[in-house]
Amino acid sequence: MSKQDQLKEIHISGKPYAIYKSINGFDLYTDFSKKIILNNKNVYSFLNKKKVGKKFKETDLFIGFFGYEILNNLIGIKIPKQKSVNFPKGIFYKPEKKISYTNNLINYKADKVKLKKKLKININKKSYTKIFDRFKKKIKSGETYQIKICTKYKLESKIDPLDFFCRLSRTNLAPEAFMIRDKDYSIISCSPENLITKKGSLITTKPIAGTVKKNKKMNKVKALSYFRNNLKETKEHNMIVDMERSDMSRICKVGTVKLSKQKVVEEYKDLFHYVSLIKGIIKNNVNNIDIIKAMMPGGSVIGCPKISTLNLLNNQEKENRNIYTGSFGYLKFNGDMKFNIIIRSILNYKNISEISVASGVVVDSNAKHEFGENFIKAKALIDLFK
């Protein structure tokens, strides 16, 4: 049986599985022997799990996600009561089977989605502008320097997550793309942003801050010129890079945190991004909890300074973010880990699909532009429902 046929068989059987973008293609994880549903108490024991041994199999890992709320709790930030669908705060799986696909195309097609209702947005332009103006005052008073306003697009629908993921990968392949299909939910993502890659003592993070829409006049070279000459985009990028360098410095040896790539452009289906890469060497006594608490939630999708900005966001937002700006990835038994930032994603739960996006507000921002940028970020996902 071919690997493509194996995937189809697993999908049709209803068995839970996860797919994560690899360097050369995709890795599929299934035959889960454990499923750990995280809460604010057991997350500590989960992160403290230690496996002793010299040889590890490629399935000796836990793969899954931390939701936004549990990451706040880990760093001592309490979220006020919000509207919630009671989706789990995080779920990790222990796979017993891994299938590697050495190309970027997984072929699967399902019937078209039948939408029951039209797309709804939780914040219209008028409401967004009010929140924007409120945060602009907070920036001018020095309570924050940059803050992200979350916008949610929702629609009622049953979806075939593998079909969505395959189409998304063909049209908008991203280096941190992933999907999870379980019995009561699915997640499909074209996340472009890596938050943590740890191999041995080396750790890297790839902050993204800066977005411009693609069109016939805007190519990669012009996008780089746009970012370099745009004061708002430059300020936003510099602030996030500085914050993530500071986050890494808490867990890395003195003098090892350095910029490996600075301010390059990455191209996606509907937009260009401004990207940097930071590297460091982990201190000898640092453990999993130290790394997660230092790096999550990812600064580029929150704002800075992190703690005060998170408090401002959480007191403003009326709905639980669920997976949005949490992290998906894996913890290997040998201590290595890889996690992205969950953005550009669809969470389908109880037949409701939820797409969350956010754009950054700095002192030079414009409400109309940022509201439009949110839609640009969501467009590749919204198009899947057409």
Would you say residue 58 has pLDDT above 90?
A: yes
158 pLDDT exceeds 90?
Answer: no
pLDDT at 256 over 80: yes
Please tell me the predicted confidence (pLDDT) of residue 343: 92
Predicted confidence at residue 42, as pLDDT, reads: 96
Give the residue among 321, 347, 355 at the shortest CA–CA distance from 70.
321
pLDDT tens profile 292-341: 999 999 887 888 888 999 999 999 998 999 999 999 999 999 999 999 99
Query: Residue 216: which pLDDT band, with cuts at 50, 70 and 90?
Result: confident
Q: How far apart are alpha carbons 177 and 12 in whole angstroms?
A: 22
Check whether 106 has a pLDDT greater than 80: no
- pLDDT classification of 189: cutoffs 50, 70, 90: very high
Per-residue pLDDT at 52: 64
Q: What is the pTM (predicted TM-score) of this model?
A: 0.92
> At 112, is the pLDDT very low, low, confident or very high (cuts 50, 70, 90)?
low
- Indicate the SS3 state at residue 197: strand
Report CA dihedral (126, 129, 135, 140) to the nearest 10 degrees.
Answer: -140
User: What does the pLDDT average to over 262-290?
Assistant: 91
Please, which pLDDT band fits residue 49 given cuts at 50, 70 and 90?
Answer: confident
CA distance 147 to 302: 6
- What structural domains does the chain harbor? 3-385 (3.60.120.10)
Q: pLDDT for 370-385, tens place per residue?
A: 898 888 889 889 988 8
